[in-house]
Structure 1
């Protein structure tokens, strides 16, 4: 195996800025070949065959094992077709030359000295290799880079959709009333714009408290709108005189049909005390929800 060659090899940090870094299989194959290529100026004899500096002898099937990796606790291998395709790309990019032999494929690293000399540790080290490919990339962008950018865009879109779904799912499960749903979303966005976004736990507390404060959707909408209009971070019973004078959880129908609500015979009850609810500071309100 090429790993029998002891010692170290050098490479430029500029590799991280090169497109090959983003193609994991291609990078691993090329990096493995460069790392195992003959370093000595005079070359070396491998399996009875004299190899020049920058050459590496290996069968594709052996490369499959050399490049094994762990994923999800299982050993994975690149297929022969993947290795063959990536090597062909490296040849086209003028990074490698290949030659079939009885003992396997003879890989020659193009401009091997540039990867191994400190004098060449400049950006042009990697940019000077694969000039045809680089020109194509500048003109049209490589398929890899386009795919990478598309994947990033897709991932961002999926992330946004996932976040939106996460934000709205609890509300959609809570009610199918479009007016109430819109008010819940408005309150959520209001909290977010106030730089006090609601966590999943806070949303759950909000919905539970909304149930405690009102039994009908119309009053719940008024409660949410009241908080938004007053700049409150939490929700509270409707103040006396607001939105028709609704009180904590009592619908307009209930008020009109029960003694003590509406008309000249209205009586003062403990529910009317909600008009005296004191206003809390932002810090206190933030702790309530």
Structure 2
């Protein structure tokens, strides 16, 4: 492969970059560099195949190798799923290979339309399209007016502490009611983020209350979501103070221990 790609500085301010791990950032740039600039045709076992600009056929193993030392196939698998949620790419897989398509590749990687060949109007139009591509998808919106100065709705992968706490709370609820309907974990994770980031609670305090409310005969039927937990947090803490705190298993893999929850 030869040539170059455009990497816009605006990417530094976008959630797809800010919320990515170092491994995911390496994978993102690698995918851009692996994509075909021009239409490519080839023949294999007598059958013709064609890839459009922005597309390429590859494998998880090949992406991991090209992404560099420290990037595993599981890192690649998680990154691709995450980038799909951001509408950055589409992914069609077979038993051996997969077809990756960078969404709207031609908008910000078109080689034939360099800035010095464009009018100022066209350049501005293209830049706006780039910004829109990097920011717009159905999972990234502004929070409600109450939290608009301090928060934004994000996409959380399964390694996020907010997402893990959402799953943990659901598991506690299911212990009491196995038929409880599965929630939208993205919405739950965002509510938990607000508790921690905006209300300045610790993850350990949140986890403690999640377990405690599902062990309390009254609260187990009244606090069935992080939003309700947030709304009643202070009153629940007052109830906890009147009772002997119990030990909670941390989400992390560390040995179970007694936390100072700060209540």
TM-score, L = length of structure 2: 0.44
Q: Which has the higher Rg, Structure 1 or Structure 2?
A: 1
Q: Which has the higher helix share?
A: 1
